[in-house]
Amino acid sequence: MAGRNHLFVPGPTNCPHEVLSAMHVPMEDHRSPIFPNLLKPILEDLKKIFRTEAGQCFTFPATGTAGWEVALTNCLNQGDKVLIYRFGQFGHLWAEAARKLGFDVEIHQVEWGKGIPLDHLEARLKDDKNHEIKAVLATHNETSTGVTSSIPGVRKAMDNAAHPALLFVDGVSSIASIDFRMDEWGVDAAISGSQKGFMLPAGLAILCFSQKALAATESSTFPRSFFSLKDMAASNKDGYTPYTPSTPMLHGLRKALDLLLEEGIENVYARHHRLGEGVRRAVAAWGLKICAQPGFESDTVTAVVVPADKDARDVIATAYRKYNISLGAGLTEVSGKVFRIGHIGDMNDVSLLGAIAGVEMAMLDHGFDIKAGSGVGAAVEYYRSTAK
């Protein structure tokens, strides 16, 4: 098919041309005396994205899923109790990972479309008088439902209960796109990956740990090898890694950080908010609903609920086959009920209008009761009137 494929899945996201070019480099010696000149500033600049001064950043040659494992296996002990609210596929998978690793996982089911229930969390932690819960696992942005939870709210609930548990946050589809503050929110482990807000290919887990979490690694007896934070920290101190890093990925990350810091992290958040708001206006103009309930809307991904007599999979298939655009599918519980539009990473108004137009065409093809141009028109008005 002529023209390019338009990628609107919420990861992998589009890589900016500058990032791809920066990665197109010859292989190099990762034990050379100049390699630390690449790695050390990256680890320092990552702190500006995680918004931390006290914390320490790490990358592992892996994906976000490995980030869950790094946090769990380095800061906790075998069999420890962890608390998680499950309101989407990624929270489900994180809970499963913890279970498979042998943790005592306390799962609270939450309706998909809502986020972490803060009152419930506070009450549960107050109830845990013996402090058996060692970590609270919070999915900041549940990519499967387009739901953002309040992490400052989680911190407040933990503080109100004076509970000493560690706070682990899955920020794979929020960090570098949605407001995130490691220090201010008292996050102990923040987990991200390269292929979402960082605008890179998949292949790096990008993590940040608080001093409290790093201290916990000292007493943790959990068996670990490849994912040892201590080994990584020991090598990183001199600007090296314990095993071979993907040097092109690091060059790409260097460029991605330059782009994000040049734009300014607050401006990055504001851009994602505008992008998300335009999509929400389009959905409202179609007369459709989004999966996220009011107050939980995500600025990086929108899950659009199709009418009961329609199958979202048809929209996704037609959008791909006829119009060359890739949308995110509904996962497990919402399979066939939603399609997802990713608006994360290297994205702007006009690119996203392409997604809205393509979705409109595919929905019309499947007999949706919508008016051609209605969603596009609503988004055009919003973007035009709020553009600087």
Q: Which stretch binds ligand PLP (CB under 6 A): 59-67, 285-293, 337-345, 361-369?
A: 59-67
| 143 touches ligand PLP (CB under 6 A) | yes
Binding string, residues 103-142; x marks residues near ligand PLP by CB under 6 A: ------------------------------------x-x-
Phi-psi region of 102 (alpha: psi -120 to 50; beta: other; left: phi over 0): left
Q: Which stretch binds ligand PLP (CB under 6 A): 60-68, 102-110, 343-351, 361-369?
A: 60-68
| 170 touches ligand PLP (CB under 6 A) | yes
Among the listed residues 115, 193, 201, 330, the single contact to ligand PLP using CB under 6 A: 193
Q: Which stretch binds ligand PLP (CB under 6 A): 15-23, 62-70, 95-103, 312-320?
A: 62-70
Binding string, residues 73-92; x marks residues near ligand PLP by CB under 6 A: -----------------x--
Q: Which stretch binds ligand PLP (CB under 6 A): 147-155, 165-173, 178-186, 350-358?
A: 165-173
| 173 touches ligand PLP (CB under 6 A) | yes
| 227 touches ligand PLP (CB under 6 A) | no
Among the listed residues 13, 60, 64, 291, the single contact to ligand PLP using CB under 6 A: 64
What is the size of the binding site for ligand PLP (CB under 6 A)?
13
Binding site for ligand PLP (CB under 6 A): 11, 63-65, 90, 139, 141, 143, 170, 172-173, 193, 202
